[in-house]
Amino acid sequence: MPSPTALPRAAALLLLLPSAAAAQETPFRLVLPIDCVLGEECAVQNYVDADPGVEARDYACGPLSYDGHKGTDFRLPTIAQQAEGVEVRAAAAGVVLGLRDEMPDILQGWEGAPELDGRDCGNGVTIGHENGWETQYCHMAQGSIAVAVGQRVAAGDRLGEVGLSGQSQFPHLHFAVRRNDAVVDPFDPEDRVACGAAEQTLWETPPDYLPGGLLDAGFASGVPDYLDLQRGTAEQEVRSDAPLVLWGFVFGGRAGDVMHLVVEGPQGRVVDQEMPLEKTQAQLFRASGRRAPEGGWPIGTYEGQVTLLRDGAPLSERRATLSLEE
């Protein structure tokens, strides 16, 4: 029979076991906070700035960031796509700590853009998670917020839609991750990567790193206006007697890249031009075309292909089709 002191000791040991198990922290994991296909319907325009000084670089040592940037910018190619409604989703389970939903959807620098007064995030949601983790979702569409303060959400739940509010110069979701108020890069949470992918990220399924690419391409009867490219209204009908221009809209262009624009018409190749990029730019476009020949363009189908080349190899490609009818 056990001694009088053995039972309390055994019971004490049993009581300690659940506490030890609870002390083992569950890994914090994230799902994609936006409903789009990266590389096709959206792209990461900016990552967390991994440079400790006044310069800027992303975790892969690329230029997709700017000095002091504290989040990941999931961008849409155009405002037209944003207007169709693209969902923002909770990246992990948690509780809504705060939100804002009254700022207009106007890009900064455009007519009517409001004074920010510290509201750079625009319309957005902040979610608190276990063990000091926090996620923030910025630049959401006015009137789209679908949660309330104090509400518990699961990973993947709809929070609202991508917008243009706050300190925004293109349609995107600024997604920030913090732990105990310190910024964390979900692609490199331990800040140990030297120009490459981390062995451990915060993502359940780590998104591929896209070092740049084509956002959009199309035909027009002249060199398009940059604002029309942003709006998604640059593609135009082309008359048979008008100039025929092929354009491509790029993010993450680097000095030394080449944009190759080709148009094949009913009677052969109409355009074939390589356009080197002289400097690194976050967004840019190039266009190439020809005036209509005497008597107008032949009736039929014109196929356009825009290719972004880096180090001589294709990095990204977009196609466009134009039909000329009598």
Given a cut of 50, whether residue 269 has pLDDT beyond it is yes
Given a cut of 50, whether residue 16 has pLDDT beyond it is no
The residue behind tokens 């880096």 is 310
Query: Radius of gyration (Cα) for the chain, nearest Å?
Result: 25
Question: Any idea how long the chain is?
Answer: 326
The pLDDT of residue 121 is 97
The dihedral of CA 162, 166, 172, 174: what is its sign? Answer: negative
CATH topology (fold) of 213-324: Immunoglobulin-like (2.60.40)
Report residue 129 CA to chain centroid gap: 23
pTM value is 0.89
Q: Counting Cβ atoms within 10 Å, is residue 23 exposed (0-12), middle (13-18) or buried (19+)?
A: exposed
Q: Give the pLDDT band (50/70/90) at residue 155.
A: very high
Q: Domains of the chain: which residue ranges?
A: 43-183, 213-324
The pLDDT of residue 325 is 85
Domains 43-183 and 213-324 in one fold: no
Residue 277: what are its φ and ψ, rounded to 5°?
Answer: -95, 125
Contact, 140 vs 168, CB < 8 A? no
CATH topology (fold) of 43-183: Glucose Permease (Domain IIA) (2.70.70)
**Structural tokens at position 296:** 């107008």
Mean pLDDT throughout 174-187? 97
The per-residue pLDDT of the chain, averaged, comes to 91
Mean pLDDT throughout 173-185? 97
Lowest mean pLDDT segment, chosen from 3-12, 180-189, 273-282: 3-12
Mean pLDDT throughout 10-31? 57
The pLDDT of residue 53 is 87
Q: What is the pLDDT of residues 101-119, one digit of tens each?
A: 999 999 998 988 899 999 9
Given a cut of 60, whether residue 12 has pLDDT beyond it is no
Strand pairing of 123-128 and 133-140?
Answer: antiparallel
Tell me the C-alpha distance between 204 and 212, whole Å.
23
